Amino acid sequence: DYSWTEYHELNDTHRWMQNLVGKYPDVVSVFIAGQSYEGRELLGLKINHNDGRAEKQSIFLEAGMHAREWIGPATATYFINELLTSQEPQIKGLARSYVWYILPHANPDGYVYTHLTNRMWRKTRSPQDKNCIGTDPNRNWDFHWREVGASSDPCSESYAGPKAFSEREVETLSQYLRSLPEPMFMYLSLHSFSQLLLYPYGHTSTLPENHKELEQIFNAAVGAVKRRYGTRYTGGNVYDAIYPAAGSSMDWVYGVLKVKYSFCYELRPSGYSFWTGFRLPASQIIPTGQETTDSLVEMIKAAAQIE
Ligand code: 0X9
Ligand code: ZN
């Protein structure tokens, strides 16, 4: 049976999502947000309680864009389980108030590769020039593409691709996001690591138009993530809080789709140790899931109060 005491292979999680449709047929469906270079589906789970509430807005949560960041997909599935099974009024309310789209594996080829061949793989798996493989899917979105903090070297870990939306995963996901019928209230991107909460932009230090609101939401979310286990987050706008990085999904959704609340979590652990940072022990999936759920509850509450 599916659990949060270990990391799962791609097919396990895809099968678990398909089974949820059978368990909650009135509430749950799967969606295909796109395809990968190697022909895999970008399979996600939609949660929509048909309780007669008109005009619901959507929240889209994407994880696993960087293949080796295993805690992202694990947290996404933990959160799905909370939305479906929690008895807490706040979480039940959240599940009912929005139409949820949750995509645990935005880069399925890369994820499979981290299980079979190279645990530290980050990019997609499409062949590029110089016999190098892969593009950084979080540098490939068509918003200030390759302007700063993105490489033109196909062998680099932050290769932006030969052109914007060159990657099938990114291009098809962008089309899917454009096609959604409900107005999107919030976009969330789960990465790891360093315990940061980030908002736009990555291409400039100029703060986004609604940065006061984003900071207010940020403060609520960072306060809540600390409540249960004392986990400390910092962050801010990408350009100043970490480094210049143009072409991310978060910035494209904010800048092109005009979704006002777009955030990226860099989950546990803290610190900068490359060799341990992506290998978060499986014993920390549940605590990470709990505190991230705490944080999301307060984040969305804070954002809803602004509206
Ligand atoms: O470099 C990145 O793409 C992200 N850091 S990571 O270690 N996960 O690779 C940070 C970029 C900012 N995040 C988003 N814009 N989503
Ligand atoms: Zn990442």
Q: What is the per-residue pLDDT for 168?
A: 98
Tokens standing for residue 200: 């736009």
CA distances from residue 287 to 138, 268, 278 in whole angstroms, order as listed: 26, 10, 16
CA distances from residue 278 to 67, 69, 136, 198 in whole angstroms, order as listed: 10, 6, 16, 18
Q: What is the per-residue pLDDT for 53?
A: 73
Burial zone of 207 (CB within 10 Å; 0-12 exposed, 13-18 middle, 19+ buried): middle
Q: What is the per-residue pLDDT for 245?
A: 98
Q: Domain containing 266 — which CATH number? A: 3.40.630.10
Chain segment 2-43, per-residue pLDDT in tens: 999 999 999 999 999 999 999 999 999 999 999 999 999 999
Closest CA to 3 of 300, 276, 292, 285: 285
Residue 116 in any domain: the answer is yes
Phi and psi based region of residue 22 (left: phi greater than 0; alpha: psi -120 to 50; beta: remaining): alpha
Question: How many Å apart are CA 201 and CA 203, to the nearest integer?
Answer: 6
In this prediction, the residues of the chain whose per-residue pLDDT falls under 70 are: none
Residue 2 in any domain: the answer is no
Q: Which atom of ligand 1 is nearest to the CA of 189?
A: 16
Which residues pair with residue 61 across a beta bridge?
102, 188
Instruction: Describe the strand order of the beta sheet including 28-35 as a list of residue ranges.
Output: 28-35, 41-47, 99-103, 58-63, 184-192, 261-267, 196-199, 234-237
* Ligand index nearest the alpha carbon of residue 137: 1
Chain segment 94-115, per-residue pLDDT in tens: 999 999 999 999 999 999 999 9
Question: How many Å apart are CA 136 and CA 122, to the nearest integer?
Answer: 7
Report CA(305)–ligand 2 centroid distance (Å). 30
CB 237 within 8 A of CB 165: no
Q: Which atom of ligand 1 is nearest to the CA of 202?
A: 15
CB atoms within 10 A of CB 51: 9
Chain segment 264-277, per-residue pLDDT in tens: 999 999 988 888 99
Print the domain residue range for 171: 10-306
Report CA(96)–ligand 2 centroid distance (Å). 29
Q: 144, 158, 191, 250: which to mutate for ligand 1, most atoms within 8 A of CB?
A: 191
Q: What is the per-residue pLDDT for 307?
A: 73
Residue 3 in any domain: the answer is no
Residue 92 in any domain: the answer is yes
Q: What is the per-residue pLDDT for 151?
A: 98
Residue 4 in any domain: the answer is no
* 95 touches ligand 1 (CB under 6 Å): no
Structural domain count, the chain: 1
Q: What is the per-residue pLDDT for 223?
A: 98
**Amino acid occupying residue 32:** I
Q: Which residue do the tokens 């490939």 mark?
A: 140
Closest CA to 40 of 166, 169, 164, 161: 169
Could you give the ipTM of this predicted complex?
0.94
CA distances from residue 139 to 185, 214, 302 in whole angstroms, order as listed: 23, 22, 29
Residue 68 in any domain: the answer is yes
Residue 5 in any domain: the answer is no
Residue 87 in any domain: the answer is yes
Residues surrounding ion ligand 2 at CB below 5 Å:
66, 69, 191
